[in-house]
Each structure stands twice: as C-alpha cells, then as structure tokens.
Structure 1
Amino acid sequence: MKILAIGKNYVNNKSDLEAISKGFQMIFSKPESSLLLNGKDLEYPSFTSNLLYEVELVIKIGKSGKNISEEDAISFISEIGIGIDYTAKDLLNQVRETKGPWELAKGFDGAAPISNFIPISNFKNVEDINFKLSINGEEKQVGNTGFMIYNFAEIISFTSKYMTLQPGDLIFTGTPATGAGASFKGDHLQASIEGELLLDFKVV
C-alpha cells in the first residue's frame, strides 16, 4: 500500500484559481507505519517541539491503474475519508537547509491519523465536498473541494503517469489554504466531512 500526499493545493478564493499556472504537482509519500487508525491517540514525538497539523481529505484507490486519463480518474476512487498530515516542522527546516528528503519530518510513526472511509457513491459531487477540523472545540480549518488547485481527477491522472496506483492506496489531497497550525499535548482533534464526525483523537 502506498500513502501519497499533495502539497499546496488549495486557495482561499475561487477567483485565484484563474491566475494560477498549473504545472508539476508536488507529491510526496508517507510510510504505512505513519498511519494512526481507529481514533488512537497520538503520542507527541520526542524529537520535535514544533508539531504542525493539516487536515486533508483522503481518497482511497479501488482498482489498479496506470496512465489514467482525467476523464476516467474518478472511477478509480472507492472511498473518501479525512486525515491529518502531521509535520515535525523544526526537523523539516533542518533537512531543507541541506535540500534533503522529507521522510523523517513527514513520515514518523503517527504522522498520518486517518478516519474510517465513506463510499464515493455517497457523494453527489466530488468537487463540492465540505470538511472541517476543530481542536478543543474551536473551529480551526474549513475546506471545500471547489477550492482545490488540482482536483481529485487531476491528482490521480498525474500520479499514475509515474507509478501504478493499486487497490488500497491512499492519497492525501491537500489542506485548506488557511488554518493549519501547531499541535500541543492535550489537544483534542475532531474532523468531519459534510457535518459527520469521522476522526476523533487526542495528542498525549
């Protein structure tokens, strides 16, 4: 199973989409060991003092595909969930200084909490999905897929040019343009899709 993620994929205003020159998507990966499942609490990593959260919709691939066209891409999604892309920002800053890889800062144990998944057939329009993250009861991030720079189909088509997508693969599809921030011990994170609470855990 692959866990892929796309960076910098949302705007605050749809009018900004017209001014963006689309090109090479920024894709990175996380190891399977980074997954945090079943609402398990996240143990704050000992190697960082700057743990950043980003809420993201996560698409699950339902069938194998290579060089997938944008027209066919949505048919390769079986389910949609919600997750947190965690970053050890101080560690990321260190590796950026030497232009090193992101794996340690993005792929540590627990760096990818994810919810249970909802069948894609439950969604009337994948380009109009609302999602939200609250921490300690306070709304922190609100997103809608209509504000994506690269939509689900474009992400799948682009990625499949370079690697075969297989059943069970997960793709984190980007975080809303504002609201990402630091997590602290004791934080209670709750993430929902279309008002349905799907992800609920604490940082301990």
Structure 2
Amino acid sequence: MKYYAIIVAGGSGNRMQTETPKQFLLLKNLPVLMHTIKAFAQSDTQPKILLVLNKEQQGYWKRLCEEFNFRIPHQVIDGGAERFYSVKNAINSINEESFVAIHDAVRPLVSKKLIDGCFKEAELHGNVIAAVQSSDSVRMFKDDKTSALKRNEIFLVQTPQTFSLKILKEAYRQDYSVSFTDDASVVEAIGEAIHILEGERNNIKITYPVDLELAELLLKR
C-alpha cells in the first residue's frame, strides 16, 4: 500500500499580527513548516509528502530551503483560493491506490505515534481523524440564547485527517460549500461515517502569538 501526506500551507499571518505567513515563522530556529514536514518524514509510514503552497509563496519557500539546508524530499503543489481547492489540487496529483493523511502546516508538534496511528486506523475503517475531548465546559449560542452542551460529547478536531484515496476522490468531486470546514466535513457530505482517533494535547495549531510561545516551551521539553 502507498501512503501520502498532504501538508496544507495556505494560511496568512493576520491573526499572528505579522506580515509573515505563520507557516514560515521561526520555531526553535527553524520555520514552522519544516518542523511539520520533518514529523512526517520521521514516521514509520514514510508517506510521500505533497506540500500545497500558494504560487506567490513558492519562491520564498525555495529560498528558505536553501538557507536552512532543508533537503527532505517533497513535491510542491499549487494552492487554491480556498482550502478545499488546495486539497483538491493535491488529491488530483495522486493516481495510485493509497491512503492519504491531510495535515495543517501549522501543527508542527504532531508526533510520529499519531501519524502512524492515523494511517493504521484509516486502513481499518477507510477514514480517521485525530480529535481530543473538550476539557472545558461548552455552551452553544443560538437565537440570542445560550445552552450548555455535554462536555463528554464534544471533540475538538485536529489533523492529521486520513482517508483512502478512493473516498477522497469521490468527496472532492462535490461542488465547494462554505459548510466544508475541514476534510472530514467534505467526506461526511457524501454519506461516510467519520471515525475518531484520540489526538494529542501537544498537537497545537499555531494561530496566535501565544501559540508560538507555547510550541517553543513544548519543544524544549
């Protein structure tokens, strides 16, 4: 069986209060994105790595690879206007029977154990997503009212989200919808039940400045 990892790096630096897209910010003297690619390259599954990047950022990425002597093999795929189209471009470049893990470029602390576990579970069930149970109380706001939800029924979704290529090809033939917030929601829309594998608290997404500080601390540990 063949394995692929699609690393989606389409984010901007807006919420980081910086002009530099967050996937290129330095984390322990290495761009965030390089940590993410290294995680997949060091897994037992050894997937072929597809990096989805906006055309305007590809030259900058190439210069970063030269500056940091980054030699991990990966194929760069053109990003789209929405994450949906970015992932679709990558999926369309794969033509052999395989399992595909889709991962946020700005989740650089994903472990080898979680990556390999997701591939194994996807082989068993056809798909699996990493998610953690909410440790906070959760309320829903609707029609100007709030109501408590059962915390043990709430899961916070992470990546990798891993699927058979066959399922992904079918799912991404759909027209884009604003309700597609992640790959699992795209796949669910064709009637597939989504399976969950326990994620990791350390598998944080770099979105705000405090996230970068936390990632630095976790790496030191």
> TM > 0.5 between the two?
no
* TM-score, length-scaled by structure 2: 0.26
Q: TM-score, normalised by structure 1?
A: 0.28
Higher-Rg structure is 2
Higher strand share: 1
